Amino acid sequence: MRAVLILLLATQPALADSVVATRTIRAQTVIGPDDLTLVAADLPGALTDTGPALGLEARVAIYAGKPVRPSDLAPPALVQRNQVVPLIYLSGGLAISTEGRALARGAEGEVIRIMNLGSRTTVNGRIGPDGAVYVGWEG
């Protein structure tokens, strides 16, 4: 009987660590090391390591003690709505630069609408790693 009990206990799954918020994290807040902690619990869908979450931005409010899921996080925004940013058209060896007003916020690689301040026309552009918005660029 004792052997059966030991076998049953040995076959139980071990609890995995899960990442939870140490405080309430508002949406659009960049995650820092003091914002997250590991708990010895298997929370469905939660991250199992704090490393990949550091430096990302909360997409939604994450309340203290609640699990942090990958869908709750996104790369931090480089461009804010109504921000004046460089608007650059690239095609082959041609580069034309002007200023534009962002009509949405976004992170690197996202496509947003932007208004050319010189002509008042609206175009779609991709946010580059430098925070400029590129039109006609596939890189």
pLDDT recorded at residue 16:
78
Domain shared by 68 and 86, yes or no: no
Q: What domain count does the chain have?
A: 2
Domain range holding 22?
Answer: 14-74
DSSP run (H or E) holding 73: strand 73-74
pLDDT recorded at residue 92:
85
- Is 57:76 a contact under the CB 8 Å cutoff? yes
pLDDT recorded at residue 93:
86
Query: pLDDT means per 10 residues in the chain (139 residues)?
Result: 46 72 95 93 91 94 95 94 95 92 95 95 95 82
Answer with the one of 58, 74, 90 that is the final residue of a domain: 74
pLDDT recorded at residue 9:
46
Sequence-ordered list of residues with C-beta below 8 angstroms from that of 19, at least 6 positions apart, any chain: 36, 37, 38, 46, 47, 48, 49, 50, 53, 67, 68
- CATH code for the domain in which residue 107 is found: 2.30.30.760
Q: Say which residue the tokens 């049953």 belong to.
A: 8
